[in-house]
Amino acid sequence: MKRNMLGRTGIEVSELSFGASPLGGVYGAFAEQRGIDAVHTALDLGVTFFDVSPYYGATLAETVLGKALHGIDRSRYVLATKVGRYGDRDFDFTAERVKRSVHESLRRLGTDHLDLVQCHDIEFGDLDQIIHETVPALRALEATGLVRAVGVTGYPLAALGHVAEKVPVDAVLSYCQYTLQDQRLATWRDRFAESGAAVINAAPLAMGALTSHGPAPWHPAPTPVLEHCAAAAALCRSRGADIARIALQFSVSTGGVASTVVGAADPQIVRRTVSWIAEAPDEELLHEVERCLAPVRDQGWASGRPDNQQPEAQS
């Protein structure tokens, strides 16, 4: 497994990272032992970077990940979690809450330090508070050694860019925006990097939309996007291929990011993903799929407060 530096942090991460939201049941019920086996399989196959949040399954994902990592040498993995989001509508980016949150995560994850702590889905918060209160609170924890690096995550790239330009952050995590269907992250990647932040691309399978089983009912994409993804999956099937394979190969091989985060709670899925990303994509199929998705290329959805969609236009 190839490794990259996480921006300027001096932390090395695997190019494929383990997304732990399925360990919170975000994609439906899962067997805990299968989830734990998935983590161990990932480690065995060279995945060293794990991304989680207290939000996933209302702390369940952190608890299961903590169980899986128990007894494993701490130098074998890099751990990223988040602060500020605790429920679908439960956000708290105050310094007091995020400090408490870090201590809670440390306990659940059974570790004495977190490699990366990210403000989770900043577009639902007050960006000025993130800049002037939340990130500084995390920097204070960094000074104590509990946290090694500080980042932000969210959907509107302009909100991430606004914060990264106003306050130094070590990492920016964007999701669903460097996939076969949506490549808007490509236009921001260099700006994030210039601000000193590592870029992390999460959800290369568009949160399940680019899989043969399709998305969960909660998927926020507009219907035409989901319909075109389903048509692309059917096209792949008709060619004897799995859309997830080419979607993963595309994002990992051309994303130009520090790491690509893929969610899994099953060891077989992890094995498949790791073996797929070692292969080059079928270029002919790739072009066919891109043509199929062209009518909905770069189409997404609104996430967060209206004034956080284009914060630069407001300031």
**Which of 84, 156, 208, 300 is in the footprint of ligand NAD by CB under 6 A?**
208
250 counts as binding ligand NAD under rule CB under 6 A: no
Burial class (CB in 10 A: 0-12, 13-18, 19+), 240: exposed
How does DSSP classify residue 37? H
Question: What residues numbered 155-174 form the site for ligand NAD, per CB under 6 A?
Answer: 173
**Which of 273, 281, 293, 304 is in the footprint of ligand NAD by CB under 6 A?**
273
| Catalytic residue (one of 55, 56, 86, 175) | 56
Element (H, E) at 78: strand 78-83
Based on CB atoms, which residue is closest to ligand NAD, 273 or 308?
A: 273
User: Which residues of 216-296 form beta strands (DSSP E)?
Assistant: 259-263
Element (H, E) at 237: helix 223-238
**Which of 175, 178, 188, 192 is in the footprint of ligand NAD by CB under 6 A?**
175
**Which of 67, 120, 148, 162 is in the footprint of ligand NAD by CB under 6 A?**
120
* Smallest gap from residue 20 Cβ to ligand NAD (A): 5
Vertex 81 angle, CA 76 and 86, to 5°: 155
188 within 8 A of 180, measured Cβ to Cβ: no
* Smallest gap from residue 267 Cβ to ligand NAD (A): 11
* Smallest gap from residue 249 Cβ to ligand NAD (A): 11
CA-wise closest residue to 181 among 262, 104, 269, 286:
286
243 counts as binding ligand NAD under rule CB under 6 A: no
Q: How many helices (H) and strands (E) does the chain have?
A: 12, 12
Residue nearest to ligand NAD (CB): 263
292 counts as binding ligand NAD under rule CB under 6 A: no
CA-wise closest residue to 14 among 52, 42, 46:
46
56 is catalytic: yes
Residues that bind ligand NAD (CB under 6 A): 19-22, 27, 51, 120-121, 153-154, 173, 175, 202-208, 211, 244, 261-264, 269, 272-273
Active-site residues, by number, are: 56
